[in-house]
């Protein structure tokens, strides 16, 4: 599965990119029809501590699933976005069983 990681307003280090790729890779355990993934990591300009945003778009056959989460750390935002996408993939997969 192809994972594209883009960071906006900062330079993502290798450790963060590896973390994101590892988490995204687990989505293929839920549904093996994932074609590709685009991840955008962005720093929000707000003064709050919850200024790290992870936007993840997952391409599956005929559809794109999307999750956007904001948190104190990119790791936490990525975790919650991946969890939301895992639930979406389960629903998507269930729609074929009916």
Q: What is the predicted pLDDT for the residue at 98?
A: 58
Write the CB contacts of 86 (distance below 8 Å, at least 6 apart in sequence).
26, 27, 30
**pLDDT by residue (tens digit) across 31-65?**
888 899 999 999 988 778 889 999 999 999 889 99
One DSSP character per residue, 30-75 reads H-TTEEEEEEEEEE--SSSS--EEEEEEEEETTEEEEEEEEESSHH
Please report the domains of the chain, with CATH numbers, ordered by start residue: 2-97 (3.30.160.100)
CB 72 within 8 A of CB 50: yes
pTM score of the predicted model: 0.91
More confident residue, 29 or 18: 18
Residues in the chain: 98
């Amino acid at each position: 599965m192809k994972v594209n990681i883009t960071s906006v307003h900062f330079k993502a280090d290798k450790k963060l990119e590896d973390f994101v790729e590892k988490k995204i890779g687990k989505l293929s355990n839920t549904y093996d029809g994932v074609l590709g993934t685009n991840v955008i990591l962005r720093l929000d300009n707000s003064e709050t501590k919850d200024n790290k945003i992870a936007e993840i778009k997952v391409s599956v056959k005929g559809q794109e699933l999307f999750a956007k989460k904001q948190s104190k750390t990119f790791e936490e935002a990525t975790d919650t976005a991946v969890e939301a996408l895992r639930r979406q993939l389960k629903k998507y997969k269930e729609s074929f069983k009916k």
